[in-house]
């Protein structure tokens, strides 16, 4: 890296220390630079700065540091607003630009004295440079592992086109994917059954990805696909059914998938319902990816890996947008070579909290299709469906042939404001968004409030009990607590039924917000709502734990069987006083068991070490959940995390009603929609042209 340093090592280190003091870097980032510089005293200032930023970017969800982007806007890399009146900050940014510009002028050359620290991939240096992308080696390795594993699966995918029972396959495909009822608007246009196409393609692939927005039928598609695969397997050998596992990134997402899978199984065609053997081997139990892989406490390691692979033939993963780079690499490493991997997800939702945007990278070309002519001929011959010629690409990549985007939403009807708003936000169409607010949609409400003390906020959140045919609110489950409380001497079944009704009612409404801290974040809103409810005497917050307090589990607790994202309600419950040998009231937190039984678990608050109040929930934490009524509250000031993907994710959490609440800034949603998430990474960035038949 032949540069003429504009600053010395000590100056670079001082600069990084100042950034860490200002909160622009983490102490972890600074510690990494100090460690590497101690190992290689000749570490150049440019590499010191770039290493700290690479580590920092991981904390922001980026897999690597795009040096070219940093040169274009170094202030943005540090997620700060460039204050031209701050000479110290201006000088810091100039130092950074000068150092990286000198490195760029040398075409990102790696000097011999830096060889222990950085190379282009071979060896075991802590840093890897690929073109202008700088990685910590572990994350570079994750990307290569994912690429290699997927490419191997594409190469090993089996065609059904020349299968001796192709006619029988078509018959089953037609039976499993009959024409679906369409809305009036859809019936007047030529509609392609993308669910059927996804089922056909996935049935002949060891790797398939099915993406689509809410209500496009991802779960329905995969259940019918599993029936198809299992039917074929049992036809070949009735004693050797496929071993199928279902998984999701979080406990909440797993529970929701389990509920959806169970409902979809009940709607399978008659020939499946009549075949008890086939029905018995279509699973409806869903686990988390951590449990599937066998997470080992206090380590990043799993019990299942390349030398101890999972015992399965088919793995279905839902909510693929929530899977981070490290987890995807771990899943692919633990899959046996013969197994099929089927990933479901909405490519337009928020990416994972951890580093990487795996689904987004894999699906970046999904909307345009890029199907090869031979793929389209096979699809049309096999399914009878017509593919729009605009989705054909003679230069389509092998990966493109294994990704299907479901394009017809059956959740949001033609007159759904939520559906139209989600589509407008997703495309960044501010003009259509403005027009939507002028229409009187039955499922869409907007409130521009001056502050949180506006009385309308209380009406939105609480509703008016017992008014009918209106969006549910927080007060609904609290009303059940007060009016249907079993007596102290009631049996456990009575308390279980009461708790179940409360939890189900609570799940109908959720206030979502963007931030963790501040008056418009989780902490401020939870306190504000507690105060409002206490003033109405709906709760009595005497200490941290009180009846009616909803809590969110924030970390997996395998001993208690609780997963990150699980929600429970604190309720009065009979406890035995050993001293007096009598029953008395105590507090327990009720959770619905996520094992398909829907039974209630009662857990003492003292055992819940990782939980928080959840009157308000961040949009990030809401992924994998849906609510009858979702109230989305936006802050008054722009924030780097306010993006199109965040707004889209929040909007699509609402199933029947959405209330958008803007505080003292009616334009905040438009400002957010113009910003998109740009995560740095190199997954399939080179568009590797491996060959595979389709």
Q: Does the N-terminal peptide bond of residue 360 adopt cis geometry, omega within 30 degrees of 0?
A: no
Nearest Cα to Cα of residue 403 among 204, 208, 217: 208
**Between vectors from CA 561 to CA 555 and to CA 567, what angle results, nearest 5°?**
60
Angle in degrees, CA 529, 531, 533, rounded to 5: 70
Sign of CA dihedral 278, 284, 290, 294: negative
Query: How far is residue 214's CA from residue 345's CA, in Å, rounded to a whole number?
Result: 10
Which stretches of 210-301 are DSSP H helices?
218-236, 251-266, 270-273, 276-280, 289-293
Question: What's the CA gap between 274 and 266, in Å, rounded?
Answer: 12
- Dist. CA 398–CA 690, nearest whole Å: 7
Strand 550-553 with 567-577, pairing: antiparallel
Both tokens of 231, joined, read 């039917």
Nearest Cα to Cα of residue 598 among 509, 501, 510: 501
**CB-CB neighbours of 306 under 10 Å:** 12
* Structure token digits, residue 213: 């927005």
What is the three-state SS of 605-670?
HHHCCCEEECCEEEHHHHCCCCEEEEEEEECCCCCCCCCHHHHHHHHCCEEEEEEEEEECCCCHHH
Annotated binding site: 212-219
What Cα–Cα distance (Å) separates residue 314 from each residue in 222, 227, 398? 11, 12, 21
> How far, in Å, CA of 208 to CA of 238, rounded?
26
Taking alpha carbons only, the member of 330, 400, 340 closest to residue 365 is 400
Residue 138, class by beta-carbon neighbours within 10 Å (0-12 exposed, 13-18 middle, 19+ buried)?
middle
| Helical H segments across 40-73, by residue range | 45-59, 67-72
CB contact at 8 A, 16 and 99: no
Query: For tokens 């150092």, what's the residue?
Result: 99
Paired tokens of 482? 């007060």
Cα 205 to the center of its chain, rounded Å: 24
Can you say which residues are annotated as belonging to the binding site for ATP? 212-219
Name the 3-class secondary structure at 153: helix
Beta strands in 494-622 (DSSP E): 509-513, 550-553, 567-577, 582-592, 600-603, 611-613, 616-618
What is the spatial distance between Cα 74 and Cα 615, in angstroms, rounded to a whole number? 38
What whole-number distance in Å separates Cα of residue 268 and Cα of residue 264? 7
Report how far apart, in Å, the C-alpha atoms of 229 and of each of 176, 232, 236, 602 are. 11, 5, 11, 40
Give the list of residues 6+ apart from residue 146 with CB closer than 8 angstroms, or none.
325, 328, 329, 332, 358, 683
């Amino acid at each position: 890296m032949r540069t003429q340093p504009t600053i010395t090592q000590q100056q670079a280190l001082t600069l990084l220390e100042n950034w860490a003091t200002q909160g622009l870097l983490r102490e972890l980032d600074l510690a990494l630079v100090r460690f590497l510089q101690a190992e290689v005293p000749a570490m150049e200032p440019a590499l010191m700065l770039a290493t700290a930023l690479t580590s920092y970017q991981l904390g922001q969800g980026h897999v690597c540091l795009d040096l070219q982007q940093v040169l274009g806007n170094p202030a943005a890399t540090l997620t700060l607003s460039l204050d031209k009146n701050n000479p110290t900050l201006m000088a810091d940014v100039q130092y950074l630009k000068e150092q990286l510009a000198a490195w760029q002028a040398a075409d990102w050359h790696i000097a011999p004295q830096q060889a222990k620290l950085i190379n282009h991939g071979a060896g075991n240096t802590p840093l890897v440079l690929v073109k202008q992308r700088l990685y910590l080696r572990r994350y570079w390795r994750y990307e290569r592992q994912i690429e290699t594993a997927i490419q191997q699966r594409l190469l090993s995918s089996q065609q059904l086109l020349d299968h001796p029972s192709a006619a029988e396959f078509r018959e089953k495909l037609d039976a499993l994917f009959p024409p679906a009822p369409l809305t009036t608007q859809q019936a007047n246009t030529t509609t392609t059954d993308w669910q059927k196409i996804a089922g056909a393609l996935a049935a002949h692939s060891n790797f398939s990805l099915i993406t689509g927005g809410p209500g496009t039928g991802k779960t329905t598609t995969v259940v019918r696909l599993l029936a198809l695969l299992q039917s074929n397997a049992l036809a070949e050998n009735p004693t050797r059914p496929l071993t199928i596992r279902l998984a999701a990134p979080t406990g909440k997402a797993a529970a929701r998938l389990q509920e959806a899978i169970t409902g979809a199984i009940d709607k399978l065609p008659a020939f499946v319902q009549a075949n008890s053997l086939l029905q018995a081997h279509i699973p409806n139990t869903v686990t988390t990816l951590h449990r599937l892989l066998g997470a080992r406490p206090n380590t990043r390691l799993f019990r299942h890996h390349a030398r101890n692979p999972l015992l399965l033939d088919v793995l279905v993963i839902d909510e693929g947008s929530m899977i981070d780079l490290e987890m995807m690499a771990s899943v692919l490493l633990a899959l046996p070579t013969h197994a099929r991997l089927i990933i479901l997800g909405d490519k337009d939702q928020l990416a994972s909290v951890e580093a990487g945007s795996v689904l987004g990278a894999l699906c970046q070309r999904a909307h345009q299709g890029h199907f090869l002519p031979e793929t389209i001929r096979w699809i049309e011959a096999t399914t009878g469906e017509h593919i729009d010629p605009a989705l054909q690409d003679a230069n389509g990549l092998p990966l493109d042939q294994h990704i299907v985007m479901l394009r017809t939403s059956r959740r949001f009807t033609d007159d759904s404001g939520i559906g139209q708003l989600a589509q407008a936000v997703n495309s960044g169409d501010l003009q259509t968004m403005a027009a939507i607010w002028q229409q009187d949609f039955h499922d869409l409400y907007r409130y521009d409030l001056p502050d949180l003390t506006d009385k309308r906020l209380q009406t939105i959140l609480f509703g008016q009990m017992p008014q009918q045919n209106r969006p549910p609110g927080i007060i609904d489950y609290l009303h059940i607590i007060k009016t249907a409380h079993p007596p102290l001497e009631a049996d456990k079944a009575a308390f279980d039924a009461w708790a179940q009704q409360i939890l189900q009612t609570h799940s109908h409404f959720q206030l979502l917000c963007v931030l963790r801290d501040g008056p418009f974040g989780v902490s401020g809103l939870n306190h504000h709502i507690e105060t409002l409810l206490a003033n109405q005497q709906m709760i009595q917050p005497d200490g941290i734990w009180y009846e009616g307090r909803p809590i969110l589990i924030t970390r997996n607790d395998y001993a208690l069987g609780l997963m990150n994202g699980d929600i429970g309600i604190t309720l009065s419950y009979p406890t035995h006083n050993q001293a007096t040998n009598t029953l008395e009231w105590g507090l327990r937190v009720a959770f619905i068991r996520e094992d398909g039984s829907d039974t209630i678990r009662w857990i003492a608050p003292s055992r819940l070490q990782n939980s928080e109040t959840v009157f308000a929930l961040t949009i990030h934490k809401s992924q994998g959940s849906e609510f009858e009524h979702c109230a989305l509250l936006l802050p008054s000031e722009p924030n780097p995390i306010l993006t199109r993907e965040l707004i889209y994710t929040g909007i699509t959490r609402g199933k029947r009603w959405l209330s958008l609440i803007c505080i003292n800034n009616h334009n905040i949603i438009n400002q957010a929609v113009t910003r998109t998430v740009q995560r740095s990474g190199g997954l399939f960035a080179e568009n590797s042209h491996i060959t595979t038949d389709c």
